[in-house]
Amino acid sequence: MSPVRPSPAPLPRTFYDAREVAESIGVGYRQVIELVKRGEIPHRMFGRLIRIPAWWIDEEQARREAAA
């Protein structure tokens, strides 16, 4: 009988979709889309899917907390 190996830890997420970003920074989905179109939010396109890097969300949340 072979030994049971523990499953590897999940990889951290590196990208989020626009709805997740909108929820995490407290703005509407359409506003996130507009900010992406204007180039104010860094993003990558995977086909028609917009993905926003996790580092940007962390920076934006920190900026908003500092401003509050």
Residue 9 domain flag = no
Residue 34's pLDDT is: 97
Q: Which amino acid is at 56?
A: W
Q: Number of structural domains, the chain?
A: 1
pLDDT top residue among 27 and 1:
27
Mean pLDDT over residues 1-25, rounded? 87
Which CATH number is 42's domain given?
1.10.1660
Domain containing 39 equals 15-67
Residue 1 lies in a domain: no
* pLDDT in the model for residue 18: 96
In this predicted structure, what is the pLDDT of residue 12?
Answer: 84
Residue 10 inside a domain? The answer is: no
Q: Is the pLDDT of residue 1 over 80?
A: no
Cα–Cα distances (Å) from 52 to 16, 30, 47, in that order, read: 5, 14, 14
What are the pLDDT digits (tens) for 22-60? 999 999 999 999 999 999 999 999 999 999 999 999 999
Which tokens belong to 18? 């626009």
- Does residue 5 belong to any structural domain of this protein? no
Is residue 25 assigned to a domain? yes
Structural domain includes residue 41: yes
